[in-house]
Structure formats: structure tokens, C-alpha cells
A = this chain, B = another copy of it.
Amino acid sequence: MSQISEKIAIRAREELFINIQPIQAGGRLTPEAMKAMIAYGDGYSTCDWCLKPFRLDKIRKPPIDEFHAELADFLGMDQVRVFPGARRGFQAVASTLVEKGDTVIVSGLAHYTEFLTIEIVGGIAREVPPNEDNIITGEATAQKIEEVKRETGKLPKLIMMEHFDYVFGNEHDIRGIAKVAKEYDIPLLYNGAYSIGLMPVDGRKIGADFLVGSGHKSFASPAPSGLLATTDEWAEKVFRTSRATGDLTGRRFEGKEVELLGCTLMGANLIAMMASFPTIRERVKRWSEEVRKSNRFVKEFLKIEGNKVLSEMPRKHTLTRVDTTGSFDEIARTHKRRGFFLTKELKERKIVGPFPGATKKWKLNTYGLTWKQVEYLAWAFKDIAKKYGIPVRE
């Protein structure tokens, strides 16, 4: 394998394999983003034309200002800023709204980064239970709010909620939850790490106060990158500018947005997001086809006896949690390579991505595969099953 330097090998799994790794699919770069990486790689590359007011989101060359306006519009929100990852967007909101001892409502399937941003400011996360189908409903959210109110005498300060969770890729009742949030007058942060950049998302229609998206997870962008969009009303708070004054120099930094620490996502990562944006606009229109491919794969996958799908059915996302305890894990129990037999068999068929050695509960993502690759992928699993004598329905 060729090397980048003595210790770092070239990464070529997207070129050499079909990659169904659960979190990598939506963050594969577009050719334009790849070019941006090459041309804007140098550290402060975006600062060539940084003129007054010396703010990243106001730079006109390359058209960073225009990108911000178009991105806000695309998301159905008034304003947007880019961040080094969705988690830094959660952090900006938590830091603005949550004080020590305050409660924040999260999903029982919430990503750990939400917990961490709440923990930093001394807040307390309280989880809404998913129902028996692993779906978070508006009703369950209302019940949790009431529970918090009873126990603490205060309403939660914020609701952070996934549209699609990272465990099952299930769709949660985000509109119902938004309605509940409005009823209780609690701001809602919509976690779109698995939706923004993949499917159409309109914050205004949803009724969200904040939208957070991930560049490297779903916007065909390098890590770290992400976005936080909000309304004009909330922008005044979460994008508030500095009020500090140097006691000696009298310096002020009135143009600098505090939670962004000034210029937040400079360089190639931002330009790559911009370069991928035209593709993103188009690809979200084809989301239903991606879902059809996901369902097509799952249908074939379930023909292998003992295979189960733990995510909701039919699939509404390309990320799916499966259970092969009754099929491939049966083989793993006596195979000398144990679970790694499956990893190896897949790799021999030029497929990578499932967690190495996993043969019980694991995740995969079919996003971005062609129909032909989806058929091939399904064939490969069935071929492996047959090889090991696992019955496969025709």
C-alpha cells in the first residue's frame, strides 16, 4: 500500500471497496469538495479577502457570505453559522440557554455529544423513553416535561431531539415534539446529524428553534464541519457578539460572536462544504430513492434465515441496525476466526464497513450506493450465508 509519509498509509477504502460503514456514507466528499481540499488546504486560506468587519461569514471572495444566506434559506431558517462539527453547535446552544442545575430534555436514543454539552455547563439531561417500536413521540416528550416540572418545580430549558437517531436510524415524531415544545414554550433544537444534507429539511415547517447539522456525517464534507441554523430571534442570543472590554486598553470585540469564538470553521473544511452544496441541494431531492434502495437491500437481507432487522420497518432511512445472532453468529461461535470470518468474507467480496468481528447486532448504511451495488451487496451476504450452510429463501 502506498504511503503518505513513513507512518501514514493512503486511505483508499472508498475507491477499492463498497463501504457500508454506518457513519461514513453521508460524509464522502464530492469531486468539488475534493478539489476544495487541494486548493484551500493551507491553514488560513479563507482569509485572503477578509476585510471589514473581519468576520468569516461576511467574506465575499470566495463567496462565504452568499453561502451562508443560501444555506439558511435551504434550511428554512433565518440565519446559519458553520461550526467544527454538530457537537460544537449543540455546545453553543447549551452554553447560551442552560445554566447550572437546569434540565434539558433529550431522547433515550440521544447521541453522547448532547450529554457532554449539557454536562459542561452543569445542566442535567433527562431522557424521553422511546416507545415499543423505538420511536420518540410528542406525547412521551410531554410526559417527560411534566415529570421534570413535578420533580424540580421548573420547566426544562431546552429540548434537544434527533429526527433520526444513531442507533436504529428510526424516524422520530419531530413535528409532534415541536408542537409540544411550542405548547410549553421550550426552545427545540433539532438534531439533524442524520438528515440535513441527505433529505429535505425545513426548520420553519418543523417548528424548530435551532437546527444542527453535521458536515462530515451528512453534508459530503471533511471533519470537523457542521452548522447551526436558527431564527432571527434566537440568533440575537446564540450568535450574540462580545461585550468584553480590555480594562487597560479599552479594546472591544463588538463584531465577534462569542459562542463561535470569532471565526469558527475556516479553511478547506468550509470551502469543501460550499463546494458540495450544489450537489447537496440536488441529492436531497433523491432521498426517497435512497430509502427505496435501503428497503430493497433489507428485503433481500431478510431472506437469510435467522437475520433480523432491529430498526423500524419499512425503513425510512439508509442507516439500519440488524441482528445476525441467529445466522452469522451461529457460524462465528465455532469458526476459528470467530466473528472476523464475516469481516473477511465480506472483504474478499470487496465490501467493508460493518464493525470488525461483529456478528450479533451491528449497523450498516446503504446511502449513496447505486442500484447495482445494492443488488451486489445483497447477493454477497446471501452468498456468504450459502457458503456456510445458512438457509436462504429464494
Interface residues of A (CB under 8 A from B): 4-14, 21, 23-24, 26-29, 32-48, 51, 61-63, 66, 84-85, 87-88, 91, 95, 108, 110, 112-113, 115-120, 125-129, 215-217, 220-225, 242-244, 246-249, 251, 253, 256, 258-259, 261-262, 264-269, 271-272, 274-275, 278, 356
Contacts and interface: CB of A to CB of B under 8 A. Distances in A.
Ranked nearest first, the 6 interchain pairs of A and B with the lowest CB-CB distance are A27-B43, A223-B267, A43-B216, A84-B84, A127-B248, A223-B266
29 contacts: A5-B274, A7-B274, A8-B32, A8-B275, A10-B39, A11-B39, A21-B44, A24-B44, A29-B43, A34-B38, A38-B38, A43-B216, A43-B217, A43-B223, A84-B85, A84-B224, A85-B261, A87-B262, A88-B261, A91-B261, A112-B251, A112-B256, A117-B261, A127-B248, A128-B248, A222-B267, A222-B269, A223-B268, A223-B269
B278 A112 contact: no
B115 A253 contact: yes
A347 to B, nearest CB: 12
A265 B278 CA distance: 26
Contact of A5 (B10, B32, B127, B261): B32
Contact of A11 (B40, B118, B120): B40
Contacts of A95: 120
